[in-house]
Amino acid sequence: MTTNAPMRFQGTPEEAARNRRTHYFVDGRCMDCDCRPFGRVAEWPCGVEPPRVEDATAGLELEANFRAYAAAGGTA
């Protein structure tokens, strides 16, 4: 089954890290755009609506990223 999900960021890891720093995360959500720190949208600049794609692995990816985030002490 496919899911309509945000497209993965296509830039370099350095660009993704720079974009992640544009978000203001408090209690597991960006206070400005409401994205989660473990989701695909966090790799895009804050306030940008990423293109959406049909993706068969999006749900599994989100679950794995959330589990890693929670294991590291993150809040949902």
Q: Residues 3, 59: contact at Cβ < 8 Å?
A: yes
User: Per-residue pLDDT averaged across 3-10, rounded?
Assistant: 93
Q: Is the pLDDT of residue 15 over 70?
A: yes
User: Per-residue pLDDT averaged across 38-61, rounded?
Assistant: 92
26 three-class SS: strand
Identify the band that residue 76 occupies on the pLDDT scale cut at 50, 70 and 90: low
Q: Residues 57, 64: contact at Cβ < 8 Å?
A: no
Identify the band that residue 39 occupies on the pLDDT scale cut at 50, 70 and 90: very high
For residue 41, the 8-state DSSP code is G
CA–CA dist 42, 36 (Å, integer): 7
